[in-house]
Amino acid sequence: MKIGLFSTFMSPLASPDMVRNFAIQAEAAGVDSLWLGEHVVLFHEMEFPYPGSADGRIPVPEGGGLLDTTATFGFLAACTTKLRLGTGISLVPQRNPVYTAKEMATLDWLTGGRMDFGIGVGWCKEELQACGYTWEDRGKRCDEFLDVIQGFWTQEEVTYDGQFIRMNRARMDPKPVQPVLPTIVGGHSPVALRRAARYGQGWYGFNLSPKHVADMLPKIDAALTKAGRSRDGFEIVVTPFFKVSHDDVRAYKDMGVDRLILQLGSQKPDSISRKMDEVSELITIAS
């Protein structure tokens, strides 16, 4: 099992020096991959609370916000040579699919094939609407956008006549370096699992204990079987709760998790150094 790290780099703490030094430390420690969360705008009041915190709000510093993932991946790529880079997750239904396909293909090209495309439909209604889209049909739009994105990565020309997007014989180059740029589909609902089985090279579960993962695996297997697939060549990627023990790591490994993406937490230099010491121990256990 491989060990990665999940972070939402936030200004003002995530300065260029902090991001650069963190990436260098992570690669030197043997971290397999770094996954970045995505939110382009934030709100003081939301219809649906953020599922990752007790108070339902994204914990950002006063006056701060999340760095853009595409630009940050480009910066990280220039600081590293082996570290894989993943979107955790890219909010596909609120993005332009043509630009998204181009950005990810270009990043894969420039990194020599180090990108993972973690995707989901998102939970923040206000953010999606601010990007110019409607909330109720985000699932169907996500599927159409994935058809187009994956088409650009694998086909010489893309012709598509959908409800949300239409094009005729559109060309996009360069293609990704990887023969298949991995799409890792997040979400716990039956619809999300069907999407993973249809489009994914893996599934991403967030804030899941070993018990939660054990409960999800039969559902993932059922969705894959229904799509005529199996877990052979299909990755299980999990971000656990912030506190994870040595026994937890062994449990995830024993049940077949392929990549465990630990939460970084504080982005202060002393906290990062302590986290890297902890991660080095867990990498040894997971190997």
CB contact burial 17-56 (16+ within 10 A = b; e otherwise): ebbeebbebbbebbbbbbbbbbbeebeeebeeebebeeee
CB 204 within 8 A of CB 259: no
Q: What average pLDDT score do residues 33-54 get?
A: 89
Q: Is the predicted pLDDT of residue 273 greater than 90, yes or no?
A: no
Q: Is the predicted pLDDT of residue 53 greater than 80, yes or no?
A: no
Q: Is the predicted pLDDT of residue 56 greater than 80, yes or no?
A: no
What pTM was computed for the model? 0.95
* Residue 276 β-bridge partners: none
Give the number of other Cβ atoms within 10 Å of residue 12's Cβ. Answer: 11
Q: What average pLDDT score do residues 86-111 get?
A: 98
What is the model's pLDDT at position 40? 95
Name all domains of the chain by residue range, CATH numbers in brackets: 2-96+113-149+179-286 (3.20.20.30)
What is the model's pLDDT at position 61? 78
- Binned at pLDDT 50, 70 and 90, residue 267 comes out as confident
- Binned at pLDDT 50, 70 and 90, residue 266 comes out as confident
What does the mean pLDDT of the chain come to?
95
- Which residue type occupies 99? Y
* Residue 3 β-bridge partners: 260
Q: Is the predicted pLDDT of residue 39 greater than 90, yes or no?
A: yes
- Please provide residue 101's backbone torsions phi and psi, each rounded to the nearest 5 degrees: -60, -40
Q: Is the predicted pLDDT of residue 2 greater than 80, yes or no?
A: yes
Which residue in 104, 87, 84, 73 sits closest to 26, CA to CA? Answer: 84
pLDDT tens track for 139-160: 999 999 999 999 999 999 999 9
- 19: Cβ contacts below 8 Å, ≥ 6 apart: 9, 67, 72, 75, 76, 79
Alpha-carbon dihedral angle through residues 51, 56, 62, 63, given to the nearest 10 degrees: 70
Strands 166-170 and 115-120 turn out to be: unpaired
pLDDT tens track for 200-249: 999 999 999 999 999 999 999 999 999 999 999 999 999 999 889 999 99
- For every residue of the chain, which 3-state class applies, written as one string? CEEEEEECCECCCCCHHHHHHHHHHHHHCCCCEEEECCCCCCCCCCCCCCCCCCCCCCCCCCCCCECCHHHHHHHHHHHCCCCEEEECCEEHHHCCHHHHHHHHHHHHHHHCCCEEEEEECCCCHHHHHHCCCCCCCHHHHHHHHHHHHHHHHHCCCEEEECCCCEEEEECCCCCCCCCCCCEEEECCCHHHHHHHHHHCCEEEEECCCHHHHHHHHHHHHHHHHHCCCCCCCCEEEEECCCCCCHHHHHHHHHCCCCEEEEECCCCCHHHHHHHHHHHHHHHHHHC
CB 13 within 8 A of CB 59: no
CB contact burial 128-146 (16+ within 10 A = b; e otherwise): beeeebebeebeebbbbbb
